[in-house]
Structure 1
Amino acid sequence: MKTSRLMGTAALLAITAFGAQSAFAWQAGDIYVRGGYEKSDSSSSNAADYGEKMDVNDDGGFAYGLGYLFHDNIGVELNGSQTTKHELGNLGGFERTPINLMVNYYPLGGHAARVNPYVGAGVNYTTFDVDNGFDASIDDSWGLAAQAGVDLSVTENVLVGAWARYADVDADMKIDGNNAGDLDLDPVSVGAGVTYRF
C-alpha cells in the first residue's frame, strides 16, 4: 500500500515538474512584447563629392519588439528602436529611425528549456530627418537585416535576454543641394531587455 502511494506521488511530482518545465518553452501561438536598451555602432559614411570618409558618431536608446510564433520553431517579429541622433563629421546632425520586420528561427522551440537562442533575417526600413541649420536631405533606406539573440525564462511569462542586430542602411544624400554620395551606415546594434510572453 505504501509502495503504491509512493510510486503514485513520485509519478505526480514528475508530471508536475515536466509540465512546469514545458511552460518555459517557446511554442506555436506565443505572442510577446519586448523592451530594452540597445547601443548602435555605425560605420563611417562615404560622401563622394567631398572626397573623404566622414565619421558618424554612435548612439543608443530604447528598443522594442512585438512577435508571434506560428510554429514551435518559427515566428515573425516587428522591432526597432527610438529615434537616434548622429553627427556627420563637422557638417551637421541628423536623426535615424529604424524599423525591422524579421522571421526568427528558434532551434529549441517546443522543448523544455529555460534558455532559448534564436536567429532571424528580414528587411530594414530607416527614415531620416536632418537638423535645422544643416542644409541636407537624406532619402529613406530599405535593406536587409539580421539578428541573433538569446532569452532566459525567469517565470512562465517573463524573460530576460540579449541580442545583436545588423542592418544594411544605404541612402542617397544631398548637401547644399549637391549630390554627396551615399550615406552608408550599416549599423550593428547590441542590446538587452525584458520580454513578456502571453
Structure 2
Amino acid sequence: MKTSRLVGTAALLAVTAFGAQSALAYQAGDIYVRGGFEKTDPESGNGALYDNDIDVSDDTGFAYGAGYLFSNKFGVELNGSQTQKQDLSVGGNGVGNFDSTPVNLMVNYYPLGGISNARIHPYAGVGVNYTYFDNESFDADLDDSWGFAGQVGVDLSVTDNLLVGTWARYTDVDTDLDIDGTYKTRLDIDPVTVGAGVTYRF
C-alpha cells in the first residue's frame, strides 16, 4: 500500500473518531476483545553455535486479545498471536525453521480512563510472556520460554463500542537449543512486536 493511501486512511479514521460525539473512555467494568495483525522482529545477534552467529527471522500474523478493567485506570489483558514460523540460520546459512506461539498476560494502566469525553485512549502494560516452541525442522529441540513482557498502545474511539488502535510490545524470549538431548547454546530472541487492529468493547 502506498504511503499516501496509508496517510489518507489514517486521516479518515481520525476524523471519524473525533466526530463521534458519544465516545466514552475506558472505565471500570469494561470487557473488550481485539483482533488485528502484528509483525514480530527478533533482536539482532540471537546467539552463537560452533563460533558461528545465529539469526532468527521475523514473521507477521494474526493477533488477538481480550481484557477486563477492574477500575477506571487499571485492567488485565490476555493477548498473543497465531503460531509463527521462523527461519533459523547459522553463520549466514539457513538450517531450518521452527514454530513459536507467544501468549502474554498483562496488567495495563490507562491514564485517561474514566474521562467521559476522551476519544484517545493510551495505555501501558507490564506482565509475563510464555512462548511455546514446536515443529523444529532441523536436528535440535527448543525449550519453552517464560519471561517479562511490556507494551504501550493507543486506541481511538470510532463509536462507543468500536475502536481502532496500534501497539508495540517487547518480550523477553530466551530458549535453550538442545541437540541429541544435550544443551548446546542459548537463543536470545527478545522480539519487538508492532501491530494494529480493531477493538470491540462491551
In which range does the TM-score fall when normalised by the shorter chain? 0.7 to 0.9
Q: How does 1:49-198 map to 2 (within 5 A)?
A: 49-89=49-89, 90-111=94-115, 112-132=117-137, 134-198=138-202
| 2:47 aligned residue | 46
Distance apart, 1:177 and its partner CA? 4.2
Question: Does the Cα contact within 8 Å between 1:139 and 1:171 map onto a contact in 2?
Answer: yes
Distance apart, 1:131 and its partner CA? 3.2
Q: Which runs of 5+ in 2 are unaligned?
A: 1-20
Q: Distance in 2 between matches of 1:180 and 1:59?
A: 25
Runs of 4 or more off by more than 6 Å in structure 1? Answer: none
Higher Rg of the two aligned structures: 1
Normalising by structure 2, we get a TM-score of 0.84
Question: Does the Cα contact within 8 Å between 1:28 and 1:71 map onto a contact in 2?
Answer: yes
Q: Distance in 2 between matches of 1:51 and 1:72?
A: 52
Q: Which runs of 5+ in 1 are unaligned?
A: 1-19
Distance apart, 1:176 and its partner CA? 4.5
Q: Distance in 1 between matches of 2:188 and 2:180?
A: 19
Give the match's secondary structure for 2:25: coil
The one-letter code of the counterpart of 1:125 is Y
Count of residues paired in the alignment: 176
- CA deviations on 1:24-75 (whole Å, 9 max, x unpaired) are 111000000000000010023213x422321111101000000000000000
Q: Percentage identity across aligned positions?
A: 65
Normalising by structure 1, we get a TM-score of 0.85
Q: Distance in 2 between matches of 1:52 and 1:77?
A: 39
| 2:32 aligned residue | 32
Question: Does the Cα contact within 8 Å between 1:135 and 1:177 map onto a contact in 2?
Answer: no
Question: Does the Cα contact within 8 Å between 2:47 and 2:55 map onto a contact in 1?
Answer: no
Q: Distance in 2 between matches of 1:50 and 1:188?
A: 27
The one-letter code of the counterpart of 2:123 is Y
Give the match's secondary structure for 2:72: coil
Question: Does the Cα contact within 8 Å between 1:159 and 1:195 map onto a contact in 2?
Answer: yes
